[in-house]
A and B are shown apart, each in its own frame.
Chain A
Amino acid sequence: MRGKLNLANLAGWITLALGCVSLIGATIYNHQILAFIGLGLTFWGIILTYIRSEEYVKESFMDAACLSPLEALNQLMDKLGYTEKAVYLPPKYMKEPENSKAFIPKGKLSTLPKPEQTQREDIDLSIENPEGLLITPPGNDLTKLFEKTLETSFTTVDFQYLQLNFPKIFIEELEIAQDIEIKMENNKIHVKLENSPYTHLAKEISKLSKVYESLGCPLSSAIACALAKATGKPVKIEKQEINEAARTMMIEYSLLEEDAKS
Chain B
Amino acid sequence: MNFPLGFWDISLLTAISAIILLITSEMLSPHYGKINILVNRKRLKHASITFSIIFLATVAVKVISILTS
Contact = CB atoms under 8 A, between A and B. Distances in A.
Contact of A51 (B1, B13, B35, B44): B44
Interface string B15-49: 00100010000000011010100111101100100
Contacts of A54: 38-41
Contacts of A172: 30-31
A39 interface: yes
8 contacts: A26-B3, A28-B1, A35-B5, A39-B10, A47-B47, A54-B38, A54-B39, A54-B40
B26 to A, nearest CB: 13
Interface string A118-143: 00000000000000000000000000
Contact of A178 (B5, B33, B39): B33
A161 interface: no
Contact of A50 (B2, B3, B31, B43): B43
A16 B47 CA distance: 16
Nearest to A31: B4
Nearest to B30: A175
B23 to A, nearest CB: 14
Contacts of B30: 171-172, 175, 178
A32 B6 CA distance: 10
Nearest to A40: B13
Interface in A169-216: 171-172, 175, 178, 195, 197
A28 to B, nearest CB: 6
Interface string A28-48: 101110111001000100110
User: Chain A: interface residue count, which band?
Assistant: 20 to 34
A52 B31 contact: no
B40 A43 contact: no
A193 to B, nearest CB: 13
A131 to B, nearest CB: 45
A58 to B, nearest CB: 11
Q: Which of A30, A35, A39, A47 has the most chain B CB atoms inside 10 A of its CB?
A: A47
A53 interface: yes
B40 A53 contact: yes
Given A171-B30, A171-B31, A178-B33, A27 B3 contact: yes
A61 interface: no
B33 A195 contact: yes
A51 B31 contact: no
Given A31-B4, A39-B5, A178-B33, 17 more contacts: A26-B3, A28-B1, A30-B4, A35-B4, A35-B5, A39-B13, A47-B21, A47-B47, A50-B43, A50-B47, A52-B40, A53-B38, A53-B40, A54-B40, A54-B41, A178-B31, A195-B33
